[in-house]
Structure 1
Amino acid sequence: MSGFNERNIFFDLDRVANILENGGLIAIPTDTIYGLAVLSSIDSAVEKVFQIKGRSESQALPLLLGSVQQINNYAVGINDDVIALVNEFWPGSLTLIVKKTPGVSEIVSGGLPSVALRLPDHPIPRAISERMNSAITGTSVNRSGEPPFNDAKSIYEEFGDEIDFIVEHPTKKREFQPSTILDVTSEPWVLLREASIPRLKLEEFLGSGFIK
């Protein structure tokens, strides 16, 4: 186990890629909070996330993308309104619940016909996802029911060798502010969690009647 700081991410992507390709699990900073990242396409790696968190496999895991274009690999039924929404709020702290493609693992989606997607406003998860040409998981780093950890030292003290690699974040710790979650699988859309992006900001962009 070791880490590297943000300014060296591009020089260490080979190492990260090797860990992920072999089913490893890493902890990475994002624009909201540290996340547990594995390749979404490796079921055995996804199962590790549930195991170390003590999380029920009936609970879906959010996925982080490397670019807006990647949404088409994981979502179906993306209309012009959704495209306008992601062009306005991505990258950023807006998670979208979308109808999933057949290629999205049942383990990732918790057996649901939908999947949670986000394009983070942070270079590290985006660089990893783009390098791997795959979405990565982005669930918080914590035991189920416990507060999330948001710095490399605390993560190492709690999880030790359960996590294969921790990417260090050189910036100051900040308060945890989760992403806003919007379900766009039906109309009107449903705001499941109002958080870092307030409802009013969404309505100002979308207009009235879009959000339930």
Structure 2
Amino acid sequence: MKTRIFTFAPGRVPRGLIPAARDILARCGIMAYPTDTVYGLGCDSLSQAAVRKIYDLKKRLPSKPSPVLVADLDMVRCLALELPPCFDILSAEFWPGPLTLVLRVREGFPAEVLGPNRTLGVRLPDIPWIRELAGRLGAPLLATSANISGEKEIADPAEVIAAFGEKVDLIIDGGPSPGGMPSTVVDLTSGEPRILRQGSISGQRILESITGRKRRARIT
């Protein structure tokens, strides 16, 4: 299939993008797309064939899990085995936004995207068209940076096209991505939330949100 390219100015998503992207991803296609930090590679995260295409393209080890982007809270409730009370607190305060929550999930996800004990990083992005696409597809979107593993991340769409133009089914050119800090990652699968990565949201804010008082963040 010839690579299809959609180009648009920030905030002006062209008519036809969502249905076209949905059709491509539903056929195990893969895409490069702008996020709120750098460009990413994405697919239907429930499709083992599509996930393996991206891992092969990135030369990413199968032992390295990847997070997913969801359409809404209902999608999270469908995929999660359990949601601790602090999930409601954190999602209400920081979603949509740069917070990835690690949850135990139901069967159906390829092994590549999962961490130990069927855990998965989940985020509700602050980009409406990505949320809409996940909703139309009916599945979370794989979210991994558009680069070869170990190489620098890419924020310029021209570099994305040069690197992946013949290797992906869809490129969504939304102009340069802003770069900046990655999402904060919090593990909710044990008794106490654990901050796995400090990012745009400080660990102190996370713990204050949960406890309602200042507390030193436990960082692993």
Both proteins in one fold, TM over 0.5: yes
| Structure 1 residue 88: Cα displacement | 0.9
Q: Aligned pair count?
A: 211
Distance 1:150 1:130, change over 3 A: same
Which stretch shifts more, 141-150 or 23-32?
23-32
- Whether the 8 Å contact between 2:30 and 2:42 is mirrored in structure 1 is yes
Q: Which has the higher helix share?
A: 1
Q: Deviations over 1:15-59 (max 9, x none)?
A: 111111111110111222222110011100000110011000011
Aligned partner of 2:205 among 174, 198, 201:
201
1:133 pairs with one of 138, 142, 156: 138
The TM-score with structure 2 as length reference comes to: 0.89
Q: 1:27, 1:141 within 8 Å by CA — same for their partners in 2? A: yes
Are 1:188 and 2:215 counterparts?
no
Cα distance change, pair 210–134 in 1 and its aligned pair in 2 (3 A): farther
Moved over 4 A (4+): 208-211
Alignment RMSD: 1.8
**1:76 partner SS:** coil
Matches within 5 A, 1:16-95: 16-95=21-100
In the alignment, structure 1 residue 105 sits paired with structure 2 residue 91: no
1:174 aligns with 178
Q: Deviations over 1:99-148 (max 9, x none)?
A: 11123332321564201100000123112101111101011111010111
Structure 1 residue matching 2:25: 3-state secondary structure:
helix
Matches of 1:95 and 1:206 in 2, distance apart?
Answer: 15
Q: 1-side partners of 2:216 and 2:29: how far apart?
A: 40
Instruction: State the one-letter code of the partner of 1:3.
Output: F
TM-score by length of 1: 0.92
Any gaps of 5 or more consecutive residues in structure 1? none
1:106/1:112 contact within 8 Å kept: no
Partners of 1:9 and 1:175 lie apart in 2 by 23
Residues 175 and 108 of structure 1: CA distance in aligned 2, closer, same or farther (over 3 Å): closer
Structure 1 residue identity aligned to 2:201: I
**Structure 2 portions without partners, runs of 5+:** none
